[in-house]
Amino acid sequence: MGQMRFLVPPQQTVPDEAIERAYLAGTEWIPWRGTNRWGDDGTPGEFILERSEEESGNLYFPWQVDGFGELTLATASLMERSEQYRLDLELARGVVNRLRNQVAEWEGLGLQIPPEFFDRMAEASNALIDSVIGQADDDVRYDRSTTAIKTALEAGDWLAEMYTTQTFAARHEQVAQLSTMLGAVLASDAPEGAIASA
Strand partners, 35: 50
Report the Cα–Cα distance between both ends of the chain, in Å, rounded.
Answer: 59
- 108, part of any domain: yes
pLDDT tens-digit series, residues 43-93 = 678 889 998 878 899 999 999 999 999 999 999 999 999 899 999 999 999
Is 181 part of any domain? no
Note whether residue 93 is domain-resident: yes
- More reliable by pLDDT, 9 or 16: 9
Full-model pTM? 0.84
Is 182 a member of any domain?
no
Q: Please say if the pLDDT value at position 125 is more than 90.
A: yes
**To the nearest whole percent, how much of the chain has pLDDT over 70?**
97
Residue 147 lies in a domain: yes
Q: What is the pLDDT of residue 171?
A: 81
70-84, 104-118, 135-149: segment of lowest average pLDDT: 135-149
Mean of pLDDT values over 6-25: 84
3-state DSSP percent of the chain in helix, strand and coil, to 5: 45, 20, 35
Integer Cα distance of 29 and 164 in angstroms: 25
Compute the mean pLDDT over every residue in the chain, rounded to the nearest whole number.
89
Strand, coil or helix: what is 135? coil
Q: How many domains does the chain have?
A: 1
Per-residue model confidence (pLDDT) at position 1: 64
Given a cut of 90, whether residue 169 has pLDDT beyond it is no
Q: Is residue 189 part of a domain?
A: no
Does the residue 109 lie in any domain? yes
CA distance 80 to 94: 16
* Range of the structural domain that residue 23 is part of: 2-174
In a domain, 183, yes or no: no
User: DSSP 3-state assignment of 187?
Assistant: coil
Q: Indicate if the pLDDT at residue 13 is higher than 80.
A: no
